[in-house]
Amino acid sequence: MPHTQHNPQALARDVASAMWERDRATQALDMQIVRVGPGEAVISMPVSANMLNGHQTCHGGYIFTLADSAFAYACNSHNQNTVAAAAHIDFLAPAHEGDVLEAEAVERSLAGRTGVYDVTVRIRGGKTCALFRGKSYRVSGEVIQRGQPEGQSGQHN
């Protein structure tokens, strides 16, 4: 993968592709990668009937999962295995069946092994549903091993 080593945008794209291959949770919820870049990601998710709670609004756990997925793609975009150390979410407005939610993750700080990411979850074309802040911790290894042929994923942690 020599072409991506010096191109952060291409590396972020390749890392997202490698992660996506293994990310059964995100795939199972019909999420889609809208865009990725160094330290950022936008992931979308349609709200289906089986995601509704007793109030007929999207269950907060699904909104959290969407935000957490965007956070994961953003914090791993530098090709260093990174996991969540903590996360907090504030729910601001409900989402309903048929809405498409978009979670936009942005890197706010990256120093040493830790990072801070803000994720805004919006109804596509509309209001903000939730604000999420995630703190990341870099563990050993890379998402895509250097010198590994493209399309093959790195080690899991």
CATH of the domain at 125: 3.10.129.10
Q: How far apart are CA 81 and CA 22, in angstroms?
A: 14
Angle at 101 between CA 52 and CA 77, to 5 degrees: 125
151 is a domain residue: no
pLDDT class for 6, splitting at 50, 70, 90? confident
CA distance 27 to 24: 5
In Å, how far from its chain's centre is CA 78?
13
Domain-embedded: residue 155 = no
Q: What digits encode the pLDDT tens for the residues 13-38? A: 999 999 999 999 999 999 999 999 99
Place of tokens 């994961």: 72
**CA 52 to chain CA mean position, Å:** 22
Domain interval for residue 51: 2-138
* pLDDT given at position 154: 43
In a domain, 81, yes or no: yes
User: What is the count of structural domains for the chain?
Assistant: 1
**Arithmetic mean of pLDDT over the chain:** 92
pTM for this entry: 0.89
Look at residue 47 and tell me if it is in a domain: yes
Segment 85-130, tens digit of pLDDT: 999 999 999 999 999 999 999 999 999 999 999 999 999 988 999 9
